[in-house]
C-alpha cells in the first residue's frame, strides 16, 4: 500500500516536472500581458496630474501628440485645433508665483486651488498642468480636460519615445521596432554568407583534424557571455567604426549589427553544418558520377537537399539576434530615435527594456509600456521558435 | 571561367571565412587577456572595491556570482533532471509529450531580458522577495532549465535499451531500474549538461539586472534575501556608467578576464568531459 | 575498351583486389559475380575513379580505357566521369523534378541550349523505356515515382551525357521482379550502343544478360569466361561450387 502511494507520488512529481516548462511559459505570458495591457488603461497625461483650461475653451480633441506639440510651442494658437483665435498660454505649477506671492497662497498652499482658478478664469487661452492635489476643478470658469487613454496607435505607430516628458509622456515604439529590425537584418546579412560558408567548409571540405579543431572554437565563441561581447564592441569595434567611417561616435547600428552577427554565427554554423552533413552519400556520388565537380554538387544537390535545415538555422539565428540585450545595449548608442542610416545610433526593444526598467516607477505608464514591449518580444521569439521547429520538421523529400 | 576555376574560387572563400572565424575568437579573447592580465593579482581577486571602483578588487562580485550559480542549480537541476526522466522514461510518444518537448524548446529560445522581466514581476514584486539572491537564483534557474532538460534527455536516451530490458527481466520495477541502472549510466552526461549550464548562468546579465544585482555593496550578502554583486553586471556598469569610466577601465578589463576565464573553464570542462565520455561509450 | 593490368588495390592496410588482369570489349555486357565482400564493386568503381572519394586508398597497376591510363595525372576526372555512366544499387534521384534529374548531367557539363536539353531528356527517357510512363509528370518530383521507375530514371540520367561505358552496381537488387525484368530488357537494348559492366548478386541475372562473366572471390579474379561456358562448364571447381550454390 505504501509502495503504491510512493509510486504515485513519484510519478506525479515527475509529471509535474515534465510539464513545468509549459507552466512557466504560461506564467510568463500571464504576467507580461497583465502588466502590459494595463498600459492601455492609462491616460495620456502624466499620472497624478491633470490639464485644466478656461471653461470657454471649446476644443475637445486631445491626445498625447497634441499635448506634446502644445507644450513644445509647436502649436501656438487654439484656432489650430479648431477653437477660437486665442493664443495658447502655457501654465505649469511654478508659474503661479508670477501671479501671487507666497503669503497669498497660504502657508500650506491651502489657497492655491482657489488662486489657480482665478488665473484660469482670467486667461482665456490658458492650459494649466497641475497636480490633482491642487485641482481647481470645483471652481467656476474652470474646465478639466478629459484626456483619452493611450491608444494602441500611439504605441505602435508613434514616432517618438519620450517616456519621461511632461505633461504628456510619449510612448511611440516605432524607433525601437525599426531599430530592432535594422540591426537584426544587417546582422543576418553579414552572418549568413559567413556562417553558411564555414558550415560548407566544415561539412564538405575540412580534413578531420581541422574539424576537430574548429568545432570547439565555434562552441567557445557561442559560450562567450553577451556582456563580454558588448564590452569588446564598446572598446574595440566602436572606435574602429568611428575611425573608418569618420563618424562623431562609433556607437551605431552598424557596430551593433557586426557584434550581433558574430553572436549569431555559432548558431547558424552548427545547425547548417548538421543539415548539410545529413545529405545521403549516394546522392553526392550520383552527382559526381555524372561529371559534376565537388562545388557543383554542393550548390546543385547538397544545399537544395538541406534547404529546410539551413532555413531553420537562419530563423534561429534571427531569433538570437532579435532577443540579444546586453551587447546591443552597450554598443548601439542610446538614442531612441528613428534610424535613417546604418551610421545612426539606435535602440532595440530588449535594450530599451534593460536600460529603462530600473527607473520606471512601478505600476506607472512607463513601467507598463516596458512590460508591453517585453510581451511583444516574447511573442516574436515564441513565433520564431515555433516557425523554426516547423521548418526543420518539414521534410521536403522522402527519405530513401 | 571553367567550372574547376569556379570551384577553386568558392573553396578559397570558404577556407578564408573559417580563418576569419578563428581570427575573431583570437581577437576577442586575446584582447581581453592582454589587457586584463595587467590588473589581475591576488589583491584584485580578494579585496573589496575602493575609490569608486577605480581601485581595489572584485571579490564581492566573485562571491555573488558563486552564490547565484549555487542557487540557480539548486532550483534547476532537480527539476530539470526529473523532467527529463519523465519525458524519456515514463511518457510515451503521444501529443502530450510532444507538446512538452515543444514548450521546452520554446522556453530555450526566450530572450534573457524576458526572463529578467518575468523574474522581477513574479519573484521581486509578486512574491515580495525584493531584489535578492533568491529572486536572482530562481530567475537564472528558469533560464538554465531548458538546457538541463535537453542535455539530461539526451543522456538518458543514450543509455542502451538493453540495460533496461535486462533489469526488467530480473524482476526490477521501473523505478528501481531508473535508480540503479539508467540514471547512474546517464549521470556523467547529465553532469556535463549541468556544467554547461553553469557556464551559461555565470555570464548572464539581463536576468539579474532587476532581480538581484547591485553595483556596490559595502559588505558581502548575509542572507538569500539580500542583494548581491555579480561579475557580469559589474562589468556592465564599469564599462558604461561607473563613476569614472576612464579610470575604471583597467578594472573592467580585469573583470572581463575573470568572467571569461570562469565561463570558458566550465565550457571547456564540459566539452572535454563529453569527448572523453563518447570515447568510452564507443568502446563498450 | 577496358583493360586492366595487375591491379592491386588497398583500403589502408587491407588489400581488396589482388593482381587483376582482364579486358572487356566494346559493346559487350560483362557481369561480375561473387560472394559479398569479394571486391567486385570496388573493382567496378575503379573505372570511373569513384574510389578516389575514400581516404586512404591506394592503387597499383594500370587501368586503361580506350587505350589511355585513367589514373594518369593528366586525366580530367570530370570528363572521365562524363564518359562513364554509373547506376547505383539503390535508386538515388536528386531532389528535383524528373526532367531536371535527366538534364542535370547536361547542365553541369556546361550545356545551356534549351532545345538540345529537352530533346535529350526525351530521347534518353525513351531509351530507358520510361518516357511513356512519365511524359505527363516531367516536372513533378522524382520522388513521386516508384522504385523501378526511379532506377530507370537514373539510367536515363546516366545516358543523357552520352557516355561510352555504363557501369551498373547491382542495379536491380532493390527492385521487384517486374521492374527487374524491365531493366534486364533495357540492358539488352543498350548493349547495342554502349559497353556495359554489371555487378550482380543474382546469378540467373548474370546468365540472362551478360556476354562474359568474371567470378571474383576474396579480391581475386578466379575465372573470366564467356557466360555460356561459365555457367555450363566452368574451368575451375570453385566456380562450379559457387554457381551451383554450394556456398554463398
The answer to whether B146 and B104 are in contact (CB under 8 A) is: yes
Percent share of chain A, pLDDT over 70: 98
From A132-136, B71-75, C48-52, C170-174, the region with the lowest mean pLDDT: A132-136
Question: Does B150 reach chain A within 8 Å, measured CB to CB?
Answer: no
Residues in chain B where the model's pLDDT stays below 50: 284
Q: What is the pLDDT of residue A165?
A: 77
Average pLDDT, chain C: 89
Instruction: Find which of C75, C95, C145 to mutate to test the A interface (most A CBs within 10 Å of its CB).
Output: C95
Distance between CA atoms of residues C126 and A169, nearest Å = 76
Chain C residue closest in CA terms to B2: C110
pLDDT digits (tens, 9 = 90+) for A368-397: 999 999 999 999 999 999 998 888 777 555
> Cβ contact (<8 Å) for B100 and A21?
yes
Averaged pLDDT of chain A: 86
CB–CB of B148/B194 below 8 Å? yes
- Give dist(CA A59, CA A325) in Å, integer: 44
> What pLDDT score was predicted for residue A400?
34
> Residue A324's closest chain B neighbor by CA?
B111
Nearest partner of A226 among A354, A119, A378, A75, judged by Cα = A354
Whether chain A has a CB inside 8 Å of the CB on B33: the answer is no
CB contact under 8 A, A295 and B102: no
CB-nearest to A291 from C92, C94, C108 is C108
Whole-number pLDDT of residue A398: 46
Cell 497641475 appears where? A130
Per-residue model confidence (pLDDT) at position A396: 53
**B105 contacts in A (CB within 8 Å)?**
385, 389
Q: Which residue has the higher pLDDT, A333 or C192?
A: C192
Chain C residues with CB-CB distance to A289 below 8 A: 48, 50, 81, 84-86, 158
Shortest distance between the Cα of A309 and any Cα of chain C, in A, equals 15
Please state the three-class secondary structure of B60-94 as a single string: HHHHHHHHHHHHHHHHHHHHHHHHHHHHHHHCCCC
Domains of chain A and any CATH numbers: 49-150 (3.40.190.10), 174-393 (1.10.3720.10)
The more confidently predicted of residues A159 and B70 is B70
Report DSSP state, residue C74. T
Asked whether the beta carbons of residue B103 and residue A370 sit closer than 8 angstroms, the reply is no
Cα–Cα distance for residue pair A266/A317, rounded to 1 Å:
9
In this predicted structure, the answer to whether residue A305 has a pLDDT above a threshold of 70 is: yes
Highest mean pLDDT: which range of A53-57, A161-165, A194-198, C139-143: A194-198
CA-to-CA separations, B242 to A339, B246, B250, in angstroms, rounded: 28, 9, 12
Residues A399, C143: contact at Cβ < 8 Å? no
For A74-92, the pLDDT digits (tens) are 888 888 877 778 888 888 8
Task: Return the ∠ at Cα A265 (arms to B139 and A176), rounded to 5°.
Answer: 60
Task: Give the number of other Cβ atoms within 10 Å of residue A364's Cβ.
Answer: 17
Dump strand ranges (E) for chain B.
49-50, 55-56
Do the Cβ atoms of A301 and C82 come within 8 Å?
no
Q: Which residues of A touch B259 (CB under 8 A)?
A: 225, 227-228
pLDDT of residue B251: 86
Touching check for B4 and chain C: CB below 8 Å?
Answer: yes
Task: Yes or no: say if B87 and A2 are a contact pair by the CB < 8 Å rule.
Answer: no
Beta bridge partner(s), residue A129: A51, A92
User: Does A294 sit within 8 Å of B7, measured CB to CB?
Assistant: yes
Per-residue pLDDT of A17-73, as tens digits, reads: 888 888 898 899 898 998 888 888 888 887 778 888 887 877 777 777 788 788 888
Paired residues of C29 in beta bridges: C196
Residue listed under C-alpha cell 579573447: B29
DSSP labels for A64-127?
A: HHHHHHHHTTS--BGGGGTS-S-B-EEEEGGGGGGT--HHHH-TTSTTHHHHHHHHHHH-TTEE
Structure-model confidence comparison of residues B134 and A333, the more confident one: B134
The C-alpha angle B135, B138, B142, rounded to 5 degrees, equals 140
Residue A387 has φ and ψ, to the nearest 5°, of -60, -45
pLDDT for position B31? 93
Tens of pLDDT, residue by residue over C151-185, are 999 999 999 999 999 999 998 888 888 888 888 88
Amino acid at each position: 500500500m505504501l509502495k503504491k502511494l510512493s509510486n504515485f507520488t513519484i510519478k506525479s512529481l515527475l509529471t509535474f516536472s515534465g510539464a513545468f516548462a509549459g507552466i512557466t511559459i504560461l506564467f510568463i505570458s500571464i504576467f507580461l500581458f497583465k502588466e502590459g495591457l494595463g498600459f492601455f488603461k492609462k491616460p495620456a497625461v502624466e499620472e497624478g496630474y491633470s490639464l485644466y483650461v478656461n471653461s470657454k475653451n471649446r476644443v475637445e480633441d486631445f491626445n498625447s501628440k497634441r499635448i506634446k506639440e502644445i507644450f513644445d510651442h509647436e502649436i501656438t494658437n487654439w484656432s489650430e485645433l479648431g477653437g477660437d483665435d486665442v493664443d495658447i498660454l502655457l501654465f505649469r505649477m511654478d508659474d503661479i508665483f508670477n501671479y501671487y506671492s507666497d503669503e497669498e497662497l497660504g502657508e500650506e498652499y491651502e489657497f492655491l486651488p482657489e488662486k489657480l482658478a482665478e488665473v484660469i478664469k482670467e486667461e482665456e487661452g490658458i492650459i494649466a498642468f497641475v497636480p490633482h492635489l491642487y485641482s481647481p476643478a470645483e471652481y467656476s470658469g474652470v474646465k478639466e480636460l478629459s484626456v483619452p487613454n493611450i491608444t494602441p496607435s500611439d504605441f505602435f505607430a508613434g514616432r517618438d519615445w519620450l517616456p519621461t516628458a511632461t505633461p504628456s509622456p510619449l510612448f511611440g515604439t516605432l524607433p525601437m521596432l525599426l531599430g530592432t529590425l535594422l540591426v537584426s537584418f544587417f546582422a543576418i546579412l553579414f552572418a549568413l554568407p559567413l556562417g553558411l560558408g564555414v558550415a560548407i567548409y566544415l561539412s564538405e571540405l575540412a580534413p578531420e583534424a581541422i574539424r576537430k579543431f574548429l568545432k570547439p572554437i565555434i562552441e567557445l565563441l557561442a559560450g562567450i557571455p553577451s556582456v563580454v561581447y558588448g564590452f569588446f564592441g564598446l572598446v574595440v569595434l566602436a572606435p574602429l567604426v568611428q575611425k573608418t567611417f569618420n563618424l562623431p561616435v562609433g556607437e551605431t547600428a552598424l557596430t551593433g549589427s557586426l557584434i550581433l552577427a558574430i553572436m549569431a554565427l555559432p548558431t547558424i554554423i552548427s545547425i547548417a553544418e548538421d543539415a548539410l552533413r545529413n545529405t545521403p552519400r549516394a546522392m553526392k556520388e550520383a552527382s559526381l558520377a555524372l561529371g559534376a565537380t565537388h562545388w557543383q554538387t554542393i550548390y546543385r544537390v547538397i544545399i537544395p537537399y538541406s534547404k529546410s535545415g539551413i532555413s531553420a538555422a537562419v530563423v534561429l539565428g534571427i531569433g538570437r539576434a532579435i532577443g540579444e540585450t546586453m551587447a546591443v545595449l552597450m554598443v548601439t548608442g542610446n538614442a531612441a530615435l528613428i534610424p535613417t542610416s546604418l551610421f545612426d545610433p539606435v535602440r532595440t526593444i530588449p535594450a530599451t527594456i534593460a536600460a529603462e526598467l530600473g527607473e520606471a516607477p512601478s505600476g506607472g505608464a512607463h513601467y507598463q509600456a516596458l512590460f508591453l514591449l517585453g510581451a511583444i518580444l516574447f511573442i516574436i521569439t515564441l513565433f520564431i521558435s515555433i516557425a523554426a521547429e516547423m521548418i526543420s520538421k518539414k521534410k521536403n523529400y522522402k527519405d530513401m | 571561367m571553367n567550372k574547376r576555376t569556379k570551384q577553386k574560387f568558392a573553396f578559397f572563400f570558404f577556407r578564408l571565412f573559417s580563418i576569419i572565424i578563428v581570427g575573431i575568437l583570437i581577437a576577442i579573447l586575446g584582447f581581453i587577456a592582454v589587457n586584463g592580465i595587467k590588473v589581475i593579482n591576488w589583491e584584485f581577486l580578494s579585496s573589496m572595491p575602493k575609490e569608486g571602483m577605480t581601485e581595489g578588487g572584485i571579490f564581492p562580485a566573485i562571491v555573488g556570482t558563486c552564490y547565484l550559480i549555487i542557487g540557480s542549480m539548486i532550483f534547476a537541476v532537480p527539476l530539470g533532471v526529473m523532467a527529463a526522466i519523465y519525458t524519456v522514461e515514463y511518457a510515451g510518444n503521444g501529443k502530450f509529450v510532444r507538446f512538452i518537448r515543444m514548450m521546452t524548446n520554446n522556453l530555450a529560445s526566450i530572450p534573457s531580458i524576458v526572463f529578467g522581466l518575468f523574474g522581477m514581476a513574479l519573484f521581486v514584486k509578486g512574491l515580495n522577495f525584493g531584489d535578492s539572491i533568491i529572486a536572482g537564483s530562481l530567475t537564472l534557474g528558469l533560464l538554465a532549465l531548458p538546457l538541463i532538460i535537453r542535455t539530461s534527455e539526451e543522456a538518458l536516451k543514450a543509455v542502451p535499451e538493453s540495460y533496461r530490458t535486462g533489469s526488467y527481466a530480473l524482476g526490477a520495477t521501473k523505478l528501481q531500474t531508473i535508480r540503479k541502472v539508467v540514471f547512474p549510466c546517464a549521470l556523467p552526461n547529465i553532469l556535463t549538461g549541468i556544467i554547461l549550464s553553469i557556464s551559461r548562468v555565470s555570464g548572464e546579465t539581463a536576468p539579474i539586472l532587476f532581480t538581484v544585482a547591485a553595483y556596490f555593496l559595502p559588505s558581502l550578502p548575509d542572507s538569500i534575501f539580500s542583494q548581491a554583486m555579480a561579475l557580469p553586471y559589474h562589468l556592465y556598469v564599469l564599462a558604461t556608467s561607473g563613476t569614472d569610466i576612464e579610470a575604471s577601465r583597467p578594472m573592467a578589463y580585469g573583470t572581463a578576464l575573470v568572467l571569461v576565464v570562469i565561463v570558458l573553464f566550465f565550457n571547456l570542462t564540459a566539452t572535454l568531459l563529453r569527448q572523453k565520455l563518447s570515447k568510452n561509450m564507443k568502446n563498450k | 575498351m577496358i583493360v586492366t593490368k595487375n591491379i592491386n588495390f588497398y583500403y589502408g592496410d587491407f588489400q581488396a583486389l589482388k593482381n587483376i588482369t582482364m579486358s572487356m570489349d566494346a559493346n559487350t555486357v560483362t557481369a561480375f559475380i561473387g560472394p559479398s565482400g569479394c571486391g567486385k564493386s570496388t573493382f567496378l568503381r575503379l573505372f570511373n575513379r569513384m574510389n578516389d572519394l575514400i581516404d586512404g586508398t591506394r592503387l597499383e597497376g594500370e587501368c586503361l580505357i580506350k587505350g589511355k591510363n585513367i589514373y594518369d595525372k593528366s586525366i580530367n576526372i570530370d570528363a572521365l566521369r562524363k564518359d562513364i555512366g554509373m547506376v547505383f544499387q539503390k535508386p538515388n534521384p536528386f531532389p528535383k523534378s524528373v526532367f531536371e534529374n535527366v538534364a542535370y548531367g547536361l547542365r553541369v557539363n556546361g550545356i545551356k541550349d534549351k532545345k538540345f536539353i529537352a530533346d535529350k531528356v526525351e530521347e534518353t527517357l525513351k531509351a530507358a523505356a520510361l518516357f511513356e510512363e512519365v511524359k505527363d509528370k516531367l516536372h513533378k518530383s522524382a520522388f513521386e515515382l516508384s522504385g523501378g521507375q526511379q532506377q530507370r530514371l537514373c539510367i536515363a540520367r546516366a545516358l543523357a551525357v552520352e557516355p561510352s561505358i555504363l557501369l551498373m552496381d547491382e542495379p536491380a537488387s532493390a527492385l521487384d521482379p517486374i521492374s527487374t525484368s524491365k531493366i534486364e530488357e533495357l540492358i539488352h537494348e543498350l548493349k547495342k550502343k554502349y559497353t556495359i559492366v554489371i555487378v550482380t548478386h543474382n546469378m540467373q541475372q548474370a546468365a540472362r544478360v551478360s556476354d562474359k562473366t568474371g567470378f571474383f572471390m576474396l579480391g581475386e579474379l578466379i575465372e573470366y569466361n564467356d557466360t555460356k561456358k561459365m555457367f555450363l562448364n566452368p574451368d575451375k571447381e570453385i566456380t562450379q561450387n559457387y554457381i551451383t550454390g554450394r556456398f554463398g
